[in-house]
Amino acid sequence: MQVSSHIRGEWLPVLRASPCFSPADPSMKVADVAWADAAQATAAMDAADAAFPSWRRTPAADRHQIISRLICSIDQQSSHIADIIHRENGKTPAEARREVASSLGEAHFQAAFLEQGLVESSGDAELRHEPLGVVLLITPWNFPLTTVVRKAIPALLCGNTAVLKPSPQGIATAAAFMQLARDAGLPDGVLNLVPANAGDAIDALVDHPTLRAISFTGSTGVGQRIAARLGSRDVRYQAEMGGCNAMVVWRDADLDAAAAAAASSGFAVCGQWCTGLSRLLVHEEVYDAFLHKLRDRVAAIRRCAGPGRDPDDSRATMGSLTTPQQLDRTRAIVANAVGQGAVAMVADDGWSASTGLHHPPVILHEVTPQMDCAHEELFAPIIAVMRCRDADEALRIVNDSRYGLSFSIYTRDSRLAERFMDEVEAGVCHINLETWHRTPDLPVCGWKDSGRGIPESGRTMRDFLTRLKVVYRRSPS
Protein backbone atom coordinates (compact mmCIF):
# COMPACT_ATOMS: atom_id res chain seq x y z
CA MET A 1 0.00 0.00 0.00
CA GLN A 2 1.38 3.42 -1.00
CA VAL A 3 0.20 6.56 0.77
CA SER A 4 0.80 10.15 -0.23
CA SER A 5 -0.96 13.47 0.20
CA HIS A 6 -4.46 13.62 -1.25
CA ILE A 7 -5.13 17.17 -2.50
CA ARG A 8 -7.92 18.47 -4.76
CA GLY A 9 -9.24 14.97 -5.36
CA GLU A 10 -5.93 13.40 -6.40
CA TRP A 11 -3.22 11.33 -4.76
CA LEU A 12 0.11 13.07 -5.32
CA PRO A 13 2.79 11.02 -7.13
CA VAL A 14 5.06 9.02 -4.83
CA LEU A 15 8.61 10.09 -5.59
CA ARG A 16 10.23 8.93 -2.37
CA ALA A 17 8.61 6.85 0.36
CA SER A 18 9.47 5.45 3.76
CA PRO A 19 8.29 2.00 4.84
CA CYS A 20 6.05 1.63 7.88
CA PHE A 21 5.95 -1.69 9.73
CA SER A 22 3.47 -3.38 12.03
CA PRO A 23 4.21 -2.81 15.73
CA ALA A 24 3.04 -6.36 16.46
CA ASP A 25 5.36 -7.85 13.85
CA PRO A 26 8.31 -5.68 12.76
CA SER A 27 8.91 -7.89 9.72
CA MET A 28 5.53 -6.97 8.21
CA LYS A 29 5.41 -3.82 6.10
CA VAL A 30 2.06 -2.05 6.29
CA ALA A 31 2.61 0.84 3.88
CA ASP A 32 5.10 2.98 2.00
CA VAL A 33 4.45 6.59 2.97
CA ALA A 34 5.51 9.72 1.10
CA TRP A 35 5.65 12.25 3.91
CA ALA A 36 4.28 15.69 3.13
CA ASP A 37 6.36 18.82 3.24
CA ALA A 38 5.30 22.37 4.05
CA ALA A 39 4.44 23.11 0.41
CA GLN A 40 2.02 20.18 0.26
CA ALA A 41 0.46 21.17 3.58
CA THR A 42 -0.10 24.68 2.26
CA ALA A 43 -1.56 23.32 -0.96
CA ALA A 44 -4.02 21.16 0.99
CA MET A 45 -5.23 24.15 3.00
CA ASP A 46 -5.53 26.21 -0.19
CA ALA A 47 -7.56 23.41 -1.79
CA ALA A 48 -9.96 23.25 1.15
CA ASP A 49 -10.36 27.02 1.07
CA ALA A 50 -11.11 27.01 -2.65
CA ALA A 51 -13.69 24.24 -2.26
CA PHE A 52 -15.52 25.86 0.65
CA PRO A 53 -17.83 28.33 -1.16
CA SER A 54 -19.29 25.64 -3.40
CA TRP A 55 -19.55 23.01 -0.66
CA ARG A 56 -21.31 25.32 1.80
CA ARG A 57 -23.87 26.18 -0.92
CA THR A 58 -24.47 22.50 -1.67
CA PRO A 59 -27.94 21.61 -0.37
CA ALA A 60 -27.79 19.77 2.95
CA ALA A 61 -29.71 16.85 1.44
CA ASP A 62 -27.03 16.44 -1.24
CA ARG A 63 -24.25 16.54 1.34
CA HIS A 64 -26.08 13.89 3.34
CA GLN A 65 -26.43 11.70 0.27
CA ILE A 66 -22.67 11.72 -0.33
CA ILE A 67 -21.86 11.08 3.34
CA SER A 68 -24.44 8.28 3.47
CA ARG A 69 -22.62 6.58 0.60
CA LEU A 70 -19.35 6.98 2.50
CA ILE A 71 -20.83 5.43 5.66
CA CYS A 72 -22.27 2.57 3.62
CA SER A 73 -18.84 1.95 2.06
CA ILE A 74 -17.18 1.81 5.49
CA ASP A 75 -19.75 -0.78 6.52
CA GLN A 76 -19.21 -2.82 3.36
CA GLN A 77 -15.41 -2.62 3.73
CA SER A 78 -15.44 -3.19 7.51
CA SER A 79 -13.40 -6.42 7.42
CA HIS A 80 -10.74 -4.88 5.18
CA ILE A 81 -10.49 -1.74 7.32
CA ALA A 82 -10.31 -3.80 10.52
CA ASP A 83 -7.42 -5.76 9.04
CA ILE A 84 -5.56 -2.51 8.27
CA ILE A 85 -6.10 -1.33 11.86
CA HIS A 86 -4.92 -4.69 13.22
CA ARG A 87 -1.73 -4.59 11.16
CA GLU A 88 -0.96 -0.90 11.48
CA ASN A 89 -1.92 -0.30 15.10
CA GLY A 90 -1.16 -3.57 16.90
CA LYS A 91 -4.69 -4.07 18.20
CA THR A 92 -6.14 -7.55 18.34
CA PRO A 93 -8.45 -8.54 15.47
CA ALA A 94 -11.44 -8.32 17.81
CA GLU A 95 -10.46 -4.84 19.00
CA ALA A 96 -10.02 -3.69 15.40
CA ARG A 97 -13.48 -4.98 14.48
CA ARG A 98 -14.98 -3.25 17.50
CA GLU A 99 -13.35 0.01 16.45
CA VAL A 100 -14.95 -0.17 13.02
CA ALA A 101 -18.33 -0.92 14.61
CA SER A 102 -17.92 1.97 17.04
CA SER A 103 -16.96 4.29 14.19
CA LEU A 104 -20.11 3.35 12.31
CA GLY A 105 -22.15 4.08 15.43
CA GLU A 106 -20.60 7.57 15.63
CA ALA A 107 -21.20 8.17 11.93
CA HIS A 108 -24.85 7.06 12.00
CA PHE A 109 -25.58 9.28 15.00
CA GLN A 110 -24.04 12.37 13.39
CA ALA A 111 -25.85 11.72 10.12
CA ALA A 112 -29.21 11.33 11.88
CA PHE A 113 -28.67 14.27 14.24
CA LEU A 114 -27.54 16.69 11.54
CA GLU A 115 -30.24 15.52 9.13
CA GLN A 116 -32.69 17.30 11.43
CA GLY A 117 -31.30 20.45 9.89
CA LEU A 118 -29.03 23.36 10.67
CA VAL A 119 -31.88 25.86 11.03
CA GLU A 120 -34.08 26.10 14.12
CA SER A 121 -37.32 28.07 14.02
CA SER A 122 -38.43 30.29 16.88
CA GLY A 123 -41.66 32.03 16.04
CA ASP A 124 -40.87 34.63 13.37
CA ALA A 125 -37.13 34.13 13.85
CA GLU A 126 -34.54 31.56 12.82
CA LEU A 127 -31.38 30.33 14.49
CA ARG A 128 -28.97 29.23 11.80
CA HIS A 129 -25.94 26.98 12.35
CA GLU A 130 -23.59 28.12 9.60
CA PRO A 131 -20.27 26.45 8.68
CA LEU A 132 -16.98 27.95 9.80
CA GLY A 133 -14.85 27.28 6.73
CA VAL A 134 -11.59 25.32 6.64
CA VAL A 135 -11.19 22.91 9.58
CA LEU A 136 -7.96 21.08 10.45
CA LEU A 137 -8.53 17.58 11.87
CA ILE A 138 -5.60 16.15 13.84
CA THR A 139 -6.15 12.53 14.86
CA PRO A 140 -4.18 10.10 17.07
CA TRP A 141 -2.86 6.59 16.49
CA ASN A 142 -4.77 4.73 19.19
CA PHE A 143 -8.14 5.00 17.39
CA PRO A 144 -7.11 5.67 13.80
CA LEU A 145 -10.60 5.25 12.31
CA THR A 146 -12.93 6.32 15.14
CA THR A 147 -11.35 9.73 15.61
CA VAL A 148 -11.29 10.39 11.85
CA VAL A 149 -14.97 9.50 11.52
CA ARG A 150 -15.87 11.38 14.69
CA LYS A 151 -14.38 14.60 13.31
CA ALA A 152 -14.72 14.39 9.52
CA ILE A 153 -18.34 13.25 9.21
CA PRO A 154 -19.92 16.13 11.19
CA ALA A 155 -17.43 18.65 9.79
CA LEU A 156 -18.46 17.85 6.22
CA LEU A 157 -22.18 17.53 7.00
CA CYS A 158 -22.12 20.99 8.58
CA GLY A 159 -20.77 22.42 5.32
CA ASN A 160 -17.13 22.85 6.26
CA THR A 161 -14.17 21.72 4.20
CA ALA A 162 -11.31 19.95 5.93
CA VAL A 163 -7.69 18.88 5.96
CA LEU A 164 -7.00 15.61 7.76
CA LYS A 165 -3.62 15.22 9.49
CA PRO A 166 -3.53 11.71 11.00
CA SER A 167 -0.86 10.35 13.31
CA PRO A 168 2.09 8.76 11.49
CA GLN A 169 1.00 5.45 13.06
CA GLY A 170 -2.53 5.84 11.64
CA ILE A 171 -1.68 6.77 8.07
CA ALA A 172 -2.88 3.61 6.32
CA THR A 173 -6.28 3.67 8.05
CA ALA A 174 -6.77 7.36 7.25
CA ALA A 175 -5.79 6.73 3.62
CA ALA A 176 -8.41 3.98 3.35
CA PHE A 177 -11.02 6.41 4.69
CA MET A 178 -9.88 9.09 2.25
CA GLN A 179 -10.21 6.73 -0.72
CA LEU A 180 -13.72 5.72 0.33
CA ALA A 181 -14.69 9.40 0.64
CA ARG A 182 -13.37 10.04 -2.85
CA ASP A 183 -15.23 7.02 -4.25
CA ALA A 184 -18.45 8.21 -2.55
CA GLY A 185 -18.39 11.32 -4.72
CA LEU A 186 -17.01 13.92 -2.33
CA PRO A 187 -16.10 16.94 -4.50
CA ASP A 188 -12.44 17.75 -5.09
CA GLY A 189 -10.81 19.65 -2.26
CA VAL A 190 -13.62 19.20 0.26
CA LEU A 191 -11.50 16.72 2.24
CA ASN A 192 -7.72 16.57 1.87
CA LEU A 193 -5.19 14.24 3.49
CA VAL A 194 -1.73 15.33 4.60
CA PRO A 195 0.58 12.58 5.98
CA ALA A 196 2.82 14.94 7.93
CA ASN A 197 5.38 13.95 10.53
CA ALA A 198 7.72 16.94 10.32
CA GLY A 199 7.36 20.19 12.21
CA ASP A 200 7.50 22.47 9.17
CA ALA A 201 4.56 20.71 7.49
CA ILE A 202 2.47 20.75 10.66
CA ASP A 203 3.35 24.41 11.28
CA ALA A 204 2.19 25.23 7.76
CA LEU A 205 -1.19 23.69 8.53
CA VAL A 206 -1.65 25.46 11.87
CA ASP A 207 -0.34 28.82 10.63
CA HIS A 208 -2.37 28.94 7.41
CA PRO A 209 -4.39 32.18 7.22
CA THR A 210 -7.60 30.48 6.01
CA LEU A 211 -7.78 28.16 9.05
CA ARG A 212 -10.98 28.60 11.02
CA ALA A 213 -10.94 25.68 13.48
CA ILE A 214 -8.79 22.82 14.77
CA SER A 215 -10.19 19.61 16.23
CA PHE A 216 -7.33 17.83 17.98
CA THR A 217 -7.14 14.51 19.78
CA GLY A 218 -3.80 13.53 21.28
CA SER A 219 -1.42 14.13 24.14
CA THR A 220 -1.79 17.03 26.54
CA GLY A 221 1.68 18.33 25.74
CA VAL A 222 1.04 18.58 21.99
CA GLY A 223 -2.44 19.98 22.55
CA GLN A 224 -1.09 22.75 24.76
CA ARG A 225 1.64 23.60 22.24
CA ILE A 226 -0.96 23.98 19.49
CA ALA A 227 -3.05 26.24 21.73
CA ALA A 228 0.00 28.39 22.45
CA ARG A 229 0.84 28.61 18.75
CA LEU A 230 -2.67 29.81 17.92
CA GLY A 231 -2.28 32.62 20.43
CA SER A 232 -4.89 35.32 19.91
CA ARG A 233 -5.91 34.26 16.39
CA ASP A 234 -9.62 33.85 15.74
CA VAL A 235 -9.33 30.08 15.32
CA ARG A 236 -11.76 27.88 17.19
CA TYR A 237 -9.94 25.12 19.09
CA GLN A 238 -11.17 21.80 20.42
CA ALA A 239 -8.77 19.45 22.21
CA GLU A 240 -9.38 16.02 23.72
CA MET A 241 -6.18 15.18 25.54
CA GLY A 242 -4.71 12.88 28.18
CA GLY A 243 -6.15 11.28 31.28
CA CYS A 244 -5.24 9.61 34.54
CA ASN A 245 -8.57 7.94 35.10
CA ALA A 246 -9.58 6.38 38.38
CA MET A 247 -11.99 3.71 39.54
CA VAL A 248 -13.15 3.36 43.14
CA VAL A 249 -14.14 -0.10 44.39
CA TRP A 250 -16.15 0.25 47.60
CA ARG A 251 -16.52 -2.38 50.33
CA ASP A 252 -20.09 -3.22 49.22
CA ALA A 253 -19.21 -3.55 45.52
CA ASP A 254 -19.77 -6.58 43.32
CA LEU A 255 -16.09 -7.51 43.30
CA ASP A 256 -16.34 -9.87 40.34
CA ALA A 257 -17.98 -7.19 38.19
CA ALA A 258 -15.50 -4.58 39.38
CA ALA A 259 -12.51 -6.82 38.62
CA ALA A 260 -13.81 -7.54 35.13
CA ALA A 261 -14.36 -3.83 34.50
CA ALA A 262 -10.90 -2.94 35.82
CA ALA A 263 -9.17 -5.50 33.59
CA SER A 264 -11.20 -4.37 30.57
CA SER A 265 -10.62 -0.68 31.21
CA GLY A 266 -6.94 -1.05 32.05
CA PHE A 267 -5.66 -3.51 29.46
CA ALA A 268 -7.83 -3.25 26.35
CA VAL A 269 -6.02 -1.42 23.55
CA CYS A 270 -2.89 -2.34 25.54
CA GLY A 271 -3.83 0.44 27.96
CA GLN A 272 -3.35 3.07 25.26
CA TRP A 273 -6.61 4.99 25.40
CA CYS A 274 -7.66 8.27 26.92
CA THR A 275 -10.59 6.86 28.89
CA GLY A 276 -8.74 3.71 29.99
CA LEU A 277 -8.08 2.96 33.65
CA SER A 278 -4.86 4.10 35.33
CA ARG A 279 -5.69 4.17 39.05
CA LEU A 280 -7.70 1.81 41.25
CA LEU A 281 -8.74 2.93 44.72
CA VAL A 282 -9.99 -0.06 46.71
CA HIS A 283 -11.60 0.12 50.14
CA GLU A 284 -9.18 -1.36 52.65
CA GLU A 285 -11.76 -3.92 53.88
CA VAL A 286 -11.91 -5.64 50.46
CA TYR A 287 -8.44 -4.77 49.15
CA ASP A 288 -6.90 -8.25 49.39
CA ALA A 289 -10.01 -10.05 48.10
CA PHE A 290 -10.34 -7.69 45.16
CA LEU A 291 -6.65 -7.87 44.30
CA HIS A 292 -6.91 -11.66 44.13
CA LYS A 293 -9.84 -11.45 41.71
CA LEU A 294 -8.07 -8.86 39.58
CA ARG A 295 -4.93 -11.02 39.48
CA ASP A 296 -6.99 -13.93 38.14
CA ARG A 297 -8.51 -11.71 35.45
CA VAL A 298 -5.11 -10.46 34.34
CA ALA A 299 -3.65 -13.97 34.28
CA ALA A 300 -6.30 -14.91 31.72
CA ILE A 301 -5.25 -12.19 29.27
CA ARG A 302 -3.99 -13.77 26.08
CA ARG A 303 -1.35 -12.05 23.96
CA CYS A 304 -1.94 -11.44 20.27
CA ALA A 305 1.04 -13.02 18.51
CA GLY A 306 0.87 -10.65 15.56
CA PRO A 307 -0.76 -10.41 12.12
CA GLY A 308 -0.88 -13.82 10.48
CA ARG A 309 1.33 -15.52 13.06
CA ASP A 310 -1.25 -17.36 15.14
CA PRO A 311 -4.48 -18.90 13.81
CA ASP A 312 -5.95 -18.49 17.29
CA ASP A 313 -5.42 -14.72 17.32
CA SER A 314 -9.19 -14.37 17.12
CA ARG A 315 -9.20 -15.31 20.81
CA ALA A 316 -6.43 -12.87 21.79
CA THR A 317 -7.42 -10.24 24.31
CA MET A 318 -4.45 -7.84 24.26
CA GLY A 319 -2.33 -6.58 21.40
CA SER A 320 0.97 -4.74 21.25
CA LEU A 321 2.06 -1.25 22.09
CA THR A 322 2.10 0.98 19.03
CA THR A 323 5.52 2.62 19.05
CA PRO A 324 9.00 1.78 20.41
CA GLN A 325 8.76 4.91 22.53
CA GLN A 326 5.63 3.52 24.17
CA LEU A 327 7.46 0.30 25.04
CA ASP A 328 10.39 2.19 26.56
CA ARG A 329 8.02 4.47 28.45
CA THR A 330 6.03 1.54 29.86
CA ARG A 331 9.19 -0.11 31.16
CA ALA A 332 10.33 3.17 32.69
CA ILE A 333 6.99 3.69 34.49
CA VAL A 334 7.20 0.23 36.08
CA ALA A 335 10.84 0.67 37.09
CA ASN A 336 10.13 4.09 38.59
CA ALA A 337 7.12 2.82 40.55
CA VAL A 338 9.07 -0.13 41.96
CA GLY A 339 11.88 2.24 42.88
CA GLN A 340 9.39 4.35 44.82
CA GLY A 341 8.12 1.31 46.75
CA ALA A 342 5.32 -0.20 44.67
CA VAL A 343 5.10 -3.96 44.10
CA ALA A 344 4.81 -5.04 40.46
CA MET A 345 2.67 -8.05 39.64
CA VAL A 346 3.61 -9.04 36.09
CA ALA A 347 2.03 -11.86 34.12
CA ASP A 348 4.74 -12.98 31.71
CA ASP A 349 3.81 -15.97 29.61
CA GLY A 350 6.03 -15.56 26.60
CA TRP A 351 5.48 -11.80 26.31
CA SER A 352 9.13 -10.84 26.62
CA ALA A 353 10.16 -13.41 24.00
CA SER A 354 7.92 -11.88 21.32
CA THR A 355 9.43 -9.97 18.42
CA GLY A 356 6.86 -7.15 18.40
CA LEU A 357 6.30 -4.25 20.77
CA HIS A 358 4.59 -6.42 23.38
CA HIS A 359 4.57 -5.78 27.11
CA PRO A 360 2.80 -7.94 29.68
CA PRO A 361 -0.05 -6.47 31.72
CA VAL A 362 1.17 -5.05 35.03
CA ILE A 363 -0.62 -4.52 38.34
CA LEU A 364 1.24 -2.10 40.59
CA HIS A 365 -0.03 -2.59 44.13
CA GLU A 366 0.85 -1.13 47.52
CA VAL A 367 0.91 2.20 45.69
CA THR A 368 0.69 5.37 47.78
CA PRO A 369 -0.67 8.76 46.66
CA GLN A 370 2.83 10.25 46.75
CA MET A 371 4.12 8.01 43.96
CA ASP A 372 4.26 9.32 40.40
CA CYS A 373 2.00 6.55 39.09
CA ALA A 374 -0.75 7.67 41.49
CA HIS A 375 -1.45 10.94 39.71
CA GLU A 376 0.35 11.00 36.32
CA GLU A 377 -0.95 9.65 33.02
CA LEU A 378 0.13 6.05 32.37
CA PHE A 379 -1.32 5.31 28.90
CA ALA A 380 0.16 1.83 29.14
CA PRO A 381 -0.88 -1.71 30.19
CA ILE A 382 -0.45 -0.73 33.84
CA ILE A 383 -2.91 -0.26 36.70
CA ALA A 384 -1.82 1.40 39.95
CA VAL A 385 -3.76 0.05 42.94
CA MET A 386 -4.17 1.99 46.21
CA ARG A 387 -6.03 1.48 49.47
CA CYS A 388 -8.58 3.96 50.77
CA ARG A 389 -10.33 4.21 54.14
CA ASP A 390 -13.26 6.52 53.52
CA ALA A 391 -14.93 8.68 50.88
CA ASP A 392 -13.05 11.84 51.86
CA GLU A 393 -9.71 10.16 51.32
CA ALA A 394 -10.80 8.54 48.05
CA LEU A 395 -12.07 11.84 46.63
CA ARG A 396 -8.90 13.63 47.65
CA ILE A 397 -6.72 11.06 45.88
CA VAL A 398 -8.90 10.91 42.76
CA ASN A 399 -8.88 14.69 42.36
CA ASP A 400 -5.14 14.99 43.01
CA SER A 401 -4.23 14.96 39.33
CA ARG A 402 -3.81 17.52 36.58
CA TYR A 403 -6.19 15.41 34.48
CA GLY A 404 -9.96 15.10 34.69
CA LEU A 405 -11.36 12.88 31.96
CA SER A 406 -13.05 9.67 33.12
CA PHE A 407 -14.07 8.18 36.47
CA SER A 408 -16.02 5.18 37.76
CA ILE A 409 -17.22 3.89 41.13
CA TYR A 410 -18.46 0.39 41.94
CA THR A 411 -20.84 0.39 44.88
CA ARG A 412 -24.37 -0.56 45.88
CA ASP A 413 -24.74 2.64 47.92
CA SER A 414 -26.59 5.10 45.66
CA ARG A 415 -26.09 8.03 48.03
CA LEU A 416 -22.34 7.45 48.10
CA ALA A 417 -22.26 7.13 44.32
CA GLU A 418 -24.11 10.43 43.88
CA ARG A 419 -21.69 12.15 46.23
CA PHE A 420 -18.82 11.04 43.98
CA MET A 421 -20.74 12.21 40.90
CA ASP A 422 -21.06 15.66 42.50
CA GLU A 423 -17.51 16.04 43.78
CA VAL A 424 -15.24 14.20 41.33
CA GLU A 425 -13.32 16.51 38.98
CA ALA A 426 -13.89 14.59 35.77
CA GLY A 427 -16.07 15.14 32.74
CA VAL A 428 -17.18 11.54 32.00
CA CYS A 429 -18.42 9.71 35.11
CA HIS A 430 -19.82 6.24 35.66
CA ILE A 431 -21.60 4.22 38.34
CA ASN A 432 -20.95 0.47 38.11
CA LEU A 433 -19.62 0.81 34.55
CA GLU A 434 -16.20 0.71 32.89
CA THR A 435 -14.28 3.99 32.62
CA TRP A 436 -14.46 3.77 28.82
CA HIS A 437 -18.23 3.40 28.58
CA ARG A 438 -19.97 6.03 26.43
CA THR A 439 -22.70 6.47 23.83
CA PRO A 440 -22.27 8.31 20.51
CA ASP A 441 -24.86 10.98 21.27
CA LEU A 442 -22.98 12.48 24.22
CA PRO A 443 -19.63 14.32 24.21
CA VAL A 444 -16.23 13.34 25.58
CA CYS A 445 -15.81 16.04 28.23
CA GLY A 446 -12.27 16.53 29.48
CA TRP A 447 -11.74 18.71 32.54
CA LYS A 448 -8.48 20.34 33.63
CA ASP A 449 -5.59 19.27 31.36
CA SER A 450 -7.74 16.60 29.71
CA GLY A 451 -9.62 18.94 27.43
CA ARG A 452 -10.09 22.38 26.02
CA GLY A 453 -12.91 24.12 24.18
CA ILE A 454 -16.27 22.67 23.19
CA PRO A 455 -16.06 18.89 23.81
CA GLU A 456 -15.73 16.57 20.84
CA SER A 457 -18.17 13.88 19.75
CA GLY A 458 -21.90 13.68 20.26
CA ARG A 459 -24.30 16.54 19.76
CA THR A 460 -21.75 19.19 20.76
CA MET A 461 -19.83 18.66 17.51
CA ARG A 462 -22.44 20.83 15.76
CA ASP A 463 -21.78 23.59 18.28
CA PHE A 464 -18.04 23.42 17.62
CA LEU A 465 -18.26 23.17 13.83
CA THR A 466 -20.76 25.99 13.22
CA ARG A 467 -21.28 29.62 14.12
CA LEU A 468 -24.68 31.01 15.00
CA LYS A 469 -26.68 33.53 13.05
CA VAL A 470 -30.07 34.80 14.20
CA VAL A 471 -32.50 36.01 11.52
CA TYR A 472 -35.59 38.03 12.55
CA ARG A 473 -38.40 38.56 10.04
CA ARG A 474 -41.44 40.79 9.80
CA SER A 475 -43.82 40.49 6.91
CA PRO A 476 -44.33 43.77 5.01
CA SER A 477 -47.61 45.52 5.83
- Catalytic positions are 274
**What would the 3-class secondary structure string for the chain be?**
CEECCEECCEECCCCCCEEEECCCCCCCEEEEECCCCHHHHHHHHHHHHHHHHHHHHCCHHHHHHHHHHHHHHHHHCHHHHHHHHHHHHCCCHHHHHHHHHHHHHHHHHHHHHHHCCCEEEECCEEEEEEECCEEEEEECCCCCCHHHHHHHHHHHHCCCEEEEEECHHHHHHHHHHHHHHHHCCCCCCCEEECCCCCHHHHHHHHHCCCEEEEEEECCHHHHHHHHHHHCCCCCEEEEECCCCEEEEECCCCCHHHHHHHHHHHHHHHHHCCCCCEEEEEEECCCHHHHHHHHHHHHHCCCECCCCCCCCCHHHCCECCCCCHHHHHHHHHHHHHHHHCCCEEEECCCCCCCCCCCCCCCEEEECCCCCCHHHCCCCCCCEEEEEEECCHHHHHHHHHCCCEECEEEEECCCHHHHHHHHHHCCCCEEEECCCCCCCCCCCCECCEECCEECCCECCCHHHHHHEEEEEEECCCCC
